[in-house]
Amino acid sequence: MYIFKHKELAESLYESLNTNPFYIALLNPLDENTTDKKDALLKYFDYSMQEADQYGKLFIPKDHDYGVSIWSKPLSASDESNRSNKKKAFIKQNLGNDSLHIYTTVTSSMAEKLQGSIPDTAWYLSILGVRPDYQGQGLGSELVRNVLRDTDNQMKVTYLETFNPKSIKFYQRLGYETLDKVDEPVTGSSYWILVRKPNTIGC
């Protein structure tokens, strides 16, 4: 039985991101029961937060559950192997083999597109979401800026992928530049790679 640690935040991410082509594709092999698909995605988001707590950076606004930013940091080869194996085991157990195949296919393809373009020391913004009724208030920017202050101090590049073209301007205001647009065959959608160099003046 899966034990939630951040259930309310997972709900916020679900409300914000359930129409994302990657998550739609990930859940596609599951039964058409909407409740089952929602439960699976809630577990995925909650696991991703627990994973970031252990291996990356999880930023949660104090005393609020409207949203969260989830980051990956560079890891040693052994830690990365452990992280990856745990994630795949989680997906296999909670979403099934077909979803695991979709996950590994898409993420492996994405990683190939990044080779030679992103430094090994870069931080990765893997998930960002703000509950719809809190959007438009600058809260999403703060979820990112609070971590960018750390990456700027450490002189680290950060990057992300987004399937939402409307979010590109949002990230550009935070100092990101579009590196590439990629047509992703499994999801049948395009995504954009955005990169941000460290800002020594502050964001």
Average pLDDT over residues 154-181: 97
As for how many domains the chain has, the answer is: 1
Rg (CA), the chain: 16
Domain membership of residue 201 (yes or no) is: no
Within-domain flag for 109: yes
> b/e for 113-131, b at 16 or more Cβ within 10 A?
bbeeebeeebbbbebbbbb
Mean pLDDT of the chain: 95
Domain holding 15: CATH number? 3.40.630.30
**2 belongs to a structural domain:** no
**pLDDT-based confidence at residue 63 (cuts at 50, 70, 90):** confident
> Residue 112: pLDDT above 90?
yes
Could you give the 3-state DSSP secondary structure of residue 138?
coil
User: Residue 168 has what pLDDT?
Assistant: 97
Place of tokens 């920017």: 141
84: in domain: yes
C-alpha–C-alpha distance, residues 181 and 158, integer Å:
17
Residue 181 pLDDT greater than 80, yes or no:
yes
Q: 202 falls in which pLDDT band (50, 70, 90)?
A: low
**Nearest-angstrom CA–CA distance, 25 and 147:** 29
pLDDT at 1: 87
Q: What would the DSSP string read from start to end of 91-110?
A: HHHHT-HHHHHHHHHHHHHH
Res 34: pLDDT: 77
Range in 4-13, 22-31, 72-81, 129-138 the model is least confident about? 129-138
1 in any annotated domain: no
Residue range(s) defining the domain that contains residue 25 = 7-196
Mean pLDDT of all residues in 180-189: 98
Neighbours of 100 (CB within 10 A): 20
Per-residue confidence (pLDDT) for residue 203, from 0 to 100: 53
